[in-house]
Amino acid sequence: MNLNKIRKNTLIILLLCVVVIGSIGVIDVLHAKWWQAPVWLVKMWNAILKLEETQKGRLALIAALENEKALAGDEIAELKEQINNLMGRRNRLAEQNLPNEQEKTRAAKAANDALDAYNKARSEAKRLREEIAELEAKLLRTSPSDEMYSSIEFAINLKKSSLADAEEEMKTEKAKYNAEKQAYRDVIYSLSYTTKIDQINRLTYQITTREAKVAALQKKIVKLQKEITDVTNRRVEVDVEIDEKKKKWYQLEKDAKNPGPQID
């Protein structure tokens, strides 16, 4: 009798255990989304951060491409200026007659005179720099309360103004000298018909190679612009994707904070 009672009680206990375990399983299934929500939030936010980091990289790439494009543009401008100068020299050579000794003498004198003027301007600038250095050293040894202090300062500023004028004149005279020197070379190189033709051919070759480089750089700029456009468009697409993911993330966060009715 007691044995039957024990068996009956044991069976009841086992049934209760099955019911309890089953209830817990049902609750877990019903609440699975809620318990997993924080994991999905982290995954979603990490994906957003990764996309935003990629966007920063794209922005840096666009800046680098724009810089490369600007450098190519500057190089084209410089090459075109060189081409114009070379064409001018070639045209002058093609138009001039074979020079005589008088032209050679005149060109040499003009170049020497220009060199003398440049050296004179350079010497003047050098003299002013030395005087300014001496005055500045003297100023350092003079007390600011000394009556001579302001006079020395005034003299320094005056000489600095003169130095600026002298340096500007030096640049002008140097440009003149370079022009006269090139004119003299043109005369020397064209003393014979054969030399003149060779010089023209060399100038033509230099022009052609620079024109080819300009064409290549222009193609490079077109390619860079396409890359810039593609990356910019992709940035716009990803910005939209980021906005959508953020909206989804905010909704998921909201759902996580308000999971709905709880099951007891």
Identify the residue whose tokens are 């990764």.
50
The neighbour count for residue 44, using CB atoms within 10 Å, is 17
The neighbour count for residue 255, using CB atoms within 10 Å, is 15
Identify the residue whose tokens are 């060399």.
202
Q: Any residues with CB less than 8 A from the CB of 4 and at least 6 apart, and which?
A: none
Q: Any residues with CB less than 8 A from the CB of 80 and at least 6 apart, and which?
A: 214
The neighbour count for residue 261, using CB atoms within 10 Å, is 5
Rounded Cα distance, 108 and 59, in Å: 57
Rounded Cα distance, 225 and 66, in Å: 8
Amino acid of residue 41? L
Rounded Cα distance, 251 and 224, in Å: 40
- For each of the chain's 264 residues, which pLDDT tens digit applies? 444 555 555 555 555 554 444 444 444 433 444 444 566 567 767 777 777 777 777 777 778 888 888 888 888 888 888 888 888 887 877 776 655 677 778 888 888 999 999 999 999 999 999 999 998 888 888 888 888 888 888 888 998 999 899 899 999 998 999 988 888 887 776 656 566 677 778 888 888 888 888 888 888 888 888 888 888 888 788 888 888 878 887 777 777 666 555 444
- 115-145 per-residue burial string, b: 16 or more CB within 10 A, e: under 16: bebbeebbebbeebeeebeebeeebeebeee
Identify the residue whose tokens are 């230099």.
206
pLDDT at position 197: 73
Cβ atoms of 180 and 135 closer than 8 Å: no
